[in-house]
Amino acid sequence: MADAKVIPFDDDRSRGSRGAGSRRRGSAAESAPVGEGPGGEVQPLPVRGAAAQDPAAEPEEPEGPEEPDESPGARPTTEGGGEDGGLERRVAAGLSFLRRRLTGDYEVDDFGYDAELTDQVLMSLLRPMYEKYFRVEVKGVENIPAQGGALIVANHSGTLPLDGLMMQVAVHDHHPADRHLRLLAADLVFVLPVVNELARKLGHTLACAEDAERLLAKGELVGVMPEGFKGIGKPFGERYKLQRFGRGGFVSTALRQGVPIVPCSIVGAEEIYPMIGNSKTLARLLGFPYFPLTPTFPWLGPLGAVPLPTKWTIQFGEPIPTDGYAPEAAEDPVLMFNLTDQVREQIQHTLYKLLVQRRSVFF
């Protein structure tokens, strides 16, 4: 998201007329040449060009500075404004950002979340993939509360956890209250070099009840994908079929904090890496829960790791309130099972509805 030069509208002759005009600020007798008339009287000689004007005519207004070229694409020439001023402000903001990073003058919360780095750098890196590559369409973002804690529960798929990152961008860019989503991630994320640091900076934390409750108590928006590795690593033939939602721990956490549960359905992630096989031997050697085999990976090497450019839809459903239950309800296994099943069924139903409405995997 060519610089244009300002071209003066006058030529050399008009600049000459400006000079004459400036001289016309005196009287006609002082400025006009004189000559001898038929009777010997002295008469002013006729003046050619711009000076030959009716003495009774209204004097010209002194000309001000030239008007800038207002043609499309022209760069404003006013000092500190327009494109030049905007560029200067961006450069100044960038230098100020670098100074704070180098001097350590920035804030990080107890979980490692760096709000400034996330907003100015990490989201800017994820946004092209979100907007241009997967062309994510977001629905129902108004169902996310504008303030206070809430738990967003979503399906998980795609072999690599790109769906969580795209959901994070969706909330960050589209929620009217500019909320930020704090994702609960598997412990594998926090043992991988580089990935560990980036996840912490983005606001991710370990998927455990203690961390989730601390974030919800602070009024944060927390995201969880209860399917875990069973969902993200399932075969392509089982796409969009939700796996088991664990033991309902996320429901117990929401009940303890009295926060609403917002179901979220993601369509499009299942096809980015069609998983047609799983090399369990390589998975054991590398310490991974699975080692995916797709039509392109590992056969095409690094090129095979490029996801397919599918068209995504992320829909947030109506929140399920939990503040009407007694505190001891979090220990009721029947209630937890019923609420877990309600959330799962709502997500599954929305997935089927979105799949019926989808025209194509890629468009």
Give the separation between CA 267 and CA 181, rounded to whole angstroms.
Answer: 19
Distance CA 219, CA 171 (A): 15
Q: What number of residues does the chain have? A: 363
Q: How confident is the model over 156-168, as a mean pLDDT?
A: 96
pLDDT of residue 83: 62
**Percent of the chain at pLDDT exceeding 70:** 77
pLDDT, position 16: 40
What's the pLDDT tens digit per position in 306-343? 999 999 999 999 999 999 998 889 999 999 999 999 99
Q: Is the pLDDT of residue 55 over 50?
A: no
Least confident of 93-97, 116-120, 184-188, 297-301: 93-97
What backbone torsions phi and psi does residue 224 show, to the nearest 5 degrees? -140, 145
13-22, 169-178, 204-213, 301-310: range with lowest mean pLDDT = 13-22
Q: What is each CA distance from 314 to 137, 165, 192, 351, in whole angstroms?
A: 6, 12, 28, 10
On whether the CB atoms of residues 109 and 205 are closer than 8 A, the answer is no
Average pLDDT, the chain: 82
Place 84 in a pLDDT band, splitting at 50, 70 and 90.
low
- DSSP letters, 91-137, are HHHHHHHHHHHHHT-S---TT---HHHIIIIIHHHHHHIIIIIS--E
Higher pLDDT residue, 30 or 178?
178
Pick the range with the lowest mean pLDDT from 2-11, 61-70, 193-202, 280-289: 2-11
Highest mean pLDDT of the ranges 50-54, 71-75, 359-363:
359-363
User: Quick one: which H or E segment has residue 339?
Assistant: helix 333-357
User: Is residue 47 over pLDDT 80?
Assistant: no
| Closest to 227 measured CA to CA, from 289, 308, 168 | 289
Question: What is the mean pLDDT of the segment spanning 141-152?
Answer: 97
Task: Say what the pTM is.
Answer: 0.75
Mean pLDDT of 72-100: 68
The mean-pLDDT minimum among 4-18, 201-215, 267-281 falls in: 4-18
* Cα dist from 239 to 158, 271, 280, 281, 291, whole Å: 9, 8, 20, 24, 17
Report the pLDDT value the prediction gives residue 159, as an integer from 0 to 100: 94
pLDDT for 118 equals 95
Q: What's the pLDDT tens digit per position in 276-311?
A: 999 999 999 999 999 999 999 999 999 999 999 999
Whether residue 37 has pLDDT greater than 60: no
